[in-house]
Amino acid sequence: MLQHGPLLERLLAGEFICCITDEDAFRHLSVEQTQHDINHYLRPLNRRLVTNDDNSVFFLGYHELTKDAREQLSGQFAITVQSLLPLLEWLQLVQETLGRDSALTAGDTIKLQEFILRTEDNQSLRQRLNQLASDRFFNSQSEQLDNQVKLIFRRLKEHGYLLQPHQERQYYIVTGKIDYLIDVIRFIRDEEHLPVDDTPTQEALI
Amino acid sequence: MAPVDSAIASNLLTIGAERLALLGKHHKALMQGYLDGFVDETAFSEGALKKLIAARILWRPDEQQPLALRPLVSELIASMVADENRRQINADVAEKLEQIRNRVQAYRDAQYKGDYSVAELQLQRLTEQVHDLSGQFEEAIDSLWHRLNSDFGFVASLDDKIRENERAQKQLRRLLDGLDLLDFNELIELSEGNNHLRKLLVSQLQNQLSSHHSSLLEVQKRLVELLAKFRQQQARSMLINNMAAFLRQHPKYQPADYPNRTDVPVLFNQAAIIKPHAAIALDKASERQILADLVRALPRTKATQLSETPAASFAQQWQDDAIAARQQALKTDVENFYLRVIDHGGKLSALDYLAQQQLEWDSEIWLYQIIAEYQALPLDEKQMFAIVRDEAPASSMNQLLLIRDISLGLKAA
């Protein structure tokens, strides 16, 4: 168990572990025996490993759903629901601004300077970014584009959606937590039968 | 070889060489024509145009149309520069097979007649055709790999990529069907009793085709995988766009209370954070030395007597007890902020702290008090703190600096 000490600490601190945030740890976590060992170790703390549908990201959940645990989960869930729209809008904005032909996925790199440059010259992108930055989730007070973008990316880093490999260099890598977000959205969509399509209609295919 | 043949051959040589030279002579204008889809007639002299048309390099598809490169020339360029938008894949095997059969027949006839020079020539042509057949697959496979490895980067949108991938899969199926047309029993029969033919048609061709076959299967596997990836990306984009649109239309939307269901979906089972803390323990003698060093490294505070006039003690000036109490409360909160900075170690923003602790002070008053408290510190304690003002000009016209926030941190001892 000793070798997994740092990993356990990161998991306990609420981190999502994917192959982007920590490739080695992720490989370890993908081994069934390690999962078993870690769960065994976490049992007295009322924690267990949880993973998403396609096992691309690991995090800690409660082993037993006590009253306190449920309270905490309710709070967490409220935050998640609140953050859905700003996160989705951010995903759309990045995709459009950088002219990508597909949505962001784990492992994609975003250069902050490029993003700022492209937003600067475009009034409508500028406005959308302005609106997004002032959303409660990002909560920027600044009027300056540069500061707004930096804050947005910093918040996303804090929330584990982005990884900044070098403290001084302004580029970010999308982590596997984005997959988790998509899974959450898909789950809610399926569960609540929301009229939200994700398969192209026949006309779109032709 | 017959004298007539050699005359034709030398004639062919001169004409062919001349016409190939035409390609080189006008390379830039022709390449531009390839890119534009038509050639700029003003770029050539009239004589040159005539020559190019006679050489079947250029043609006019229609009276009204400008001159363009002949399809075969375009194809040649596309293959040379691996331009996947224009590269053609020729999957026609039946025609080639027919030619091979005829050649074998002609070769055998010539041998039968004892006309060895003709037989030699036929064998030469047959070899070329066999190589053509294999080369045709090789070219197609090269093109397919090229497209695969570039992730179909030659088209811009995901929809186009999906269409291109499907087109490639169809081509691939035609190529595989073409390979199926080759019946080795027939080829063995054709080459019966002749070593040259057997080597050419059976061992060599079979070797090449079986390696093409496995390459094609590999490409097919990868194409299918890539298509699945494209579709997944497409689904993800659509999900994001449609869900965002839905949430924008229904701002009050609230999903069911999953955390309080009997079975909490795993996705929402996200436990609270546990941060393991550790403190100094003195029970291990071996570590005492390290601890002693740590203690020695702490910044030393001299026991100085605080003077009785801290700058920010407004309290005495006011008679109103309520105001004095509020002032004292503010002072306590600020002191707590300073204590937090000391505990925390890193830099701490005053306004962040204010928001975090949900204190009710006006942010301006709060910042004032923090500065006042800092100014009131004795000099050596002042040196312990790094105070950074986050300032900005009042407006672009006014150079007056407004303090937006203050961050306070511990200076390294």
**pLDDT above 80: residue B203:** yes
The verdict on A170 and A99 lying in the same domain is yes
pLDDT at B224: 92
The verdict on A101 and A51 lying in the same domain is no
Q: What is the pLDDT of residues A81-126, one digit of tens each?
A: 888 999 999 999 998 888 887 888 888 999 988 889 888 888 888 8
Angle (CA) B285-B290-B294 rounded to 5° is 130
**pLDDT above 70: residue B412:** no
Strand partners, B123: none
Domain locations in chain B?
Answer: 1-81, 87-251, 316-410
Contacts of B161 in chain A (CB under 8 A): 101
* Torsional class of B310: left (φ above 0), alpha (ψ -120 to 50), beta (otherwise): beta
Distance CA B193, CA B101 (A): 16
- Considering only residues 242 to 261 of chain B, which have any Cβ-Cβ distance to chain A shorter than 8 Å? 242-244, 246-248, 254-260
The verdict on A52 and A97 lying in the same domain is no
Distance CA B99, CA B93 (A): 10
Q: Is residue A163 part of a domain?
A: yes
Higher pLDDT, A33 or B302: A33
Closest partner residue to A70 among B235, B259, B274, by Cβ? B259
Give the number of other CB atoms < 10 A from CB of residue B138. Answer: 15
pLDDT at B303: 60
pLDDT at B78: 84
pLDDT at B4: 52
Give the number of other CB atoms < 10 A from CB of residue B364. Answer: 9
A188 to B255: CB separation less than 8 angstroms, yes or no: yes
Q: Is residue A140 part of a domain?
A: yes
Closest partner residue to B259 among A77, A185, A196, by Cβ? A77
Do the Cβ atoms of B401 and B393 come closer than 8 Å? yes
Distance CA B110, CA B121 (A): 10
Counting residues of chain B whose pLDDT is more than 70, the rounded percentage is: 93
**pLDDT above 50: residue B19:** yes
Do the Cβ atoms of B181 and B93 come closer than 8 Å? yes
Please report, for the domain that includes residue A40, its CATH number. Answer: 1.10.10
Q: Is residue A206 part of a domain?
A: no
Contacts of B268 in chain A (CB under 8 A): 73, 76-77, 80, 184
Q: What is the pLDDT of residues B214-243, one digit of tens each?
A: 999 999 999 999 898 888 888 888 889 888
**pLDDT above 60: residue B2:** no
**Sign of torsion over alpha carbons B36, B40, B43, B46:** positive
Compute the average pLDDT of residues B165-175: 89
The verdict on A94 and A188 lying in the same domain is yes
Tokens of B17: 């060489």
pLDDT confidence tier of residue B63, bands split at 50, 70 and 90 = confident
Counting residues of chain B whose pLDDT is more than 90, the rounded percentage is: 2
pLDDT at B317: 53
Distance CA B402, CA A3 (A): 51
Full 3-state SS string of chain A: CHHHHHHHHHHHCCCCEECCCCHHHHHHHCCHHHHHHHHHHHHHHCEEEEECCCCCEEEEEECCCCHHHHHHHHHHHHHHHHHHHHHHHHHHHHHHHCCCCCCCCCCCEEEHHHHHHHHHCCHHHHHHHHHHHCCCCCCCCCCCHHHHHHHHHHHHHHCCCEECCCCCCCEEEECCHHHHHHHHHHHHHHHHCCCCCCCCCHHHHC
Higher pLDDT, B398 or A38: A38
Nearest alpha-carbon partner for A47 in A14, A5, A75: A14
**A179: exposed, middle or buried (C-beta count within 10 Å: 0-12, 13-18, 19+)?**
buried
Domain containing A100 equals: 79-192
pLDDT at B143: 87
The verdict on A36 and A116 lying in the same domain is no
Distance CA B145, CA B222 (A): 9
Q: Is residue A10 part of a domain?
A: yes
Angle (CA) B288-B290-B294 rounded to 5° is 110
Tell me which residue has tokens 């939200």: A196
Contacts of A14 in chain B (CB under 8 A): 270-273
Compute the average pLDDT of residues A35-51: 89
Q: Is residue A30 part of a domain?
A: yes
**pLDDT above 70: residue B369:** yes
Do the Cβ atoms of A59 and A16 come closer than 8 Å? yes
Number of domains in chain A: 2
Distance CA B223, CA B175 (A): 14
Fill in the amino acid letter for B144. L
Q: What is the pLDDT of residues A116-158, one digit of tens each?
A: 988 888 888 888 988 898 888 888 888 888 888 888 999 999 9
Closest partner residue to A74 among B162, B254, B260, by Cβ? B260
The verdict on A83 and A185 lying in the same domain is yes
Instruction: Report ipTM for this prediction.
Output: 0.87
The verdict on A94 and A175 lying in the same domain is yes
Tokens of A155: 């918040």
Question: pTM of the full predicted structure?
Answer: 0.62
Contacts of B244 in chain A (CB under 8 A): 85, 88-89, 92
Chain B: residue nearest A184 by CA? B267
Nearest alpha-carbon partner for A72 in B255, B264, B271, B356: B271
Q: What is the DSSP letter of B298?
A: S
The verdict on A159 and A94 lying in the same domain is yes
Compute the average pLDDT of residues A8-20: 89
Q: What is the pLDDT of residues B308-330, one digit of tens each?
A: 555 555 545 556 777 888 888 88
Q: Is residue A73 part of a domain?
A: no
Q: Is residue A70 part of a domain?
A: no
pLDDT at A206: 44
pLDDT at A174: 93
Q: Is residue A198 part of a domain?
A: no
Lowest mean pLDDT among A125-129, B54-58, B397-401: B397-401
